[in-house]
Amino acid sequence: MSLILDLLHPATALVTGASSGIGLAVCRQLLARDDVAEVFAVSRSATSAAALSTLAAEHPGRLHCIAADLTETSGRQHIADEIAARTSSLQLLFNAAGLLHDQGLQPEKSLQQLQLSALQRSFELNTFAPILLVQGLLPLLAAGQPAVIANLSARVGSISDNLLGGWYTYRAAKAAQNQLFRTLAVEMKRTHPRTVCLQLHPGTVDTPLSSPFKARVPAGKLFSPEYAAEQLLAVIAGAGPAHSGRFFAYDGSEIPW
């Protein structure tokens, strides 16, 4: 199955959060495909990440590493400039960058734990950066060609699925990301009718993002990054314009907003 429906030539892909976890696994699987010409791997440590260096050596001339901070205007401009210097069009943008916890940032269990600084940090990377990155890359998305914009969202970002509460900041940031890209999908149907915008839930994946919480995951529900990447790329491969602006889990099932 082709990576992108109706694409007639090998794809150029951009993957953020590419130095580890799902992003790295997606890079690895994209480079293993004959219908992918080249991959731009983006993270703050992309040019120094050992795993990406190894991957670049295995695929000479096909993997281009870009060190950039997605939350900075200059970082996003650097990404756009680097890609535009090598190609005139982009067929896949896979945004795997995200933030759930960090020093001074943990999922909240109650309202009393909510902090403005946590909200700002989470929204900067999980919400603002992805949509502003698309804004900067828009000239590379040809209106008449098939393309996919895919973001790692999370089931906890579904408002109607929120029955447990907690995790105020992360839930809100992902819900806002969902709304931004749902809105983008409406606009793209007019301006770029062959571009598909997808929000994707990868399940619980054995990465640093989920590490503090994996002990409570039911048996068989903690996925490897490789499995998650394979499943998500299969969802992308099966998506056409009718799927744009929708929210899907790793198994292809649709998630309510």
- Mean pLDDT score across all residues of the chain: 95
Structure tokens at 75: 């970082």
Average pLDDT over residues 50-79: 98
What dihedral angle (degrees, nearest 10) is formed by the CA atoms of 219, 100, 134, 178?
70
For residue 122, what pLDDT is reported?
A: 96
Q: At 148, which amino acid appears? A: V
> For residue 149, what are the CA distances in angstroms to 84, 88, 109, 110, 115?
17, 17, 32, 34, 31
Helix axes 21-31, 225-237, angle to 10 degrees: 60
Q: Which of 96, 74, 93 is nearest to 22 (CA)?
A: 96
Tens of pLDDT along 29-50?
999 999 999 999 999 999 999 9
Q: Give the β-pairing of 92-95 and 63-67.
A: unpaired
Average pLDDT over residues 61-90: 97
Please determine, for residue 168, whether its predicted confidence score (pLDDT) is greater than 90. Answer: yes
Tens of pLDDT along 214-226?
666 666 788 999 9
CB 3 within 8 A of CB 92: yes
Q: Which residues contact 222 (CB under 8 A, 6 or more apart)?
A: 204, 205, 206, 210, 214
Please report, in angstroms and rounded to a whole number, the separation of the first and last CA atoms in the chain.
29
Q: Which residues contact 77 (CB under 8 A, 6 or more apart)?
A: 136
Structure tokens at 218: 């039911």
Helices (DSSP H) in 72-151: which residue ranges?
73-84, 116-123, 129-137
Please determine, for residue 55, whether its predicted confidence score (pLDDT) is greater than 80. Answer: yes
For residue 104, what pLDDT is reported?
A: 77
For residue 234, what pLDDT is reported?
A: 98
Tens of pLDDT along 206-256?
886 655 666 666 667 889 999 999 999 999 999 999 999 999 999 999 999
For residue 220, what pLDDT is reported?
A: 73
